Amino acid sequence: MDRQGAVAALGAAVAAFVSDNAFGDERWCVALSGGPDSLALTAVAAACKPTTALIVDHRLQPDSGRVAAAAREQALSLGCVDAQVLCVDVGTTGGPEAAARTARYGALDDARRDAPVLLAHTLDDQAETVLLGLGRGSGSRSIAGMRLCDPPWYRPLLGVRRALTHAACAELGLTPWQDPHNADRRFTRTRLRIDVLPLLEEVLGGGVAEALARTATALREDTDALDEQARQALADVGAGPALDTGRLAALPEAVRRRVIRGWLLTGGAIGLTDKQIRAVDTLVTAWRGQGGVAVGSPLRSQRLIAGRRDGMLTLNIEPV
């Protein structure tokens, strides 16, 4: 690789992503943490079109303000037309990692002003995500990993190894911030990165990260096809608050459960798990007069109950 090889390779990856996805926006944003992945992406993104760097300060560490300010200075020095520091308050719902993610995405969405946002997730991040989904046993949807395009979020480096972003920063003379959380084994993703993936690479003879990413792509293609069948089937089994259990029962299992999932989400359910969806499915396939199934509701004072009545699946609101 020549002196500018890593930067050139990242630039080619972003250019190919833009070409493949018909990116027509005149401007875009990039989510910048100051770490090597997002810093390298910011550098190549700013060279492509007017780029605004969005830096989220989670305020979870004593020096977070200094880190955010340094990232802002680096973004402007790399040619960004603007760089904004977004301070957030991180809650507790779902644990520290999930709560920080929720706060971060909310702030990015508020600040992007209808522009697409580039995220610096790499192939290594995708492999970790697949392993997390596999461990949770939440079905193919969780193992399908992250999408390249999930508007307004876009991941042009999802096919790029993390080593390339580190090399690009070195070529550009940049000093990335090293997040101490990335070395803290209290976090599940960190342990996957430090302990599990290297062990799998050793035991299986290499290429594990790439294999996991290919698995995610294949599962995502299958999931998209089944989701489309489910959307079409939903119109045939009912409308509004009720579904015909007889017609549901005639559907293939994978399609039926996706119909149920879509119906629950449309009815206001949140935080659905595979266990809940399967429990609702038994109201269709193994009806013995059992009671309803509680699913997540956005309102603390109410809960949603999926039940069966007169051959129809119903979704009712009950006070807690």
Residues tagged in the binding site annotation for ATP: 33-38
Give the residue ranges of the annotated binding site. Answer: 33-38
DSSP-derived 3-state class of residue 316: strand
Angle between helices 208-237 and 197-204 in degrees, nearest 10: 110
Q: How many CB atoms lie within 10 A of CB 45?
A: 29
Spatial separation of the C-alpha atoms in residues 296 and 291, rounded to whole Å: 17
Spatial separation of the C-alpha atoms in residues 195 and 301, rounded to whole Å: 42
Residue-wise burial string across 191-214, b where 16 or more C-beta atoms lie within 10 A, e elsewhere: ebbeebbeebeeeeeeebbeebbe
Residue 71 to residues 14, 34, 67, 83, 117: CA-CA distances in angstroms? 21, 5, 6, 9, 17
- Give the tokens for residue 3: 């002196």
Cis amide bond preceding 152, omega within 30: yes
**Separation of first and last alpha carbons in the chain:** 62
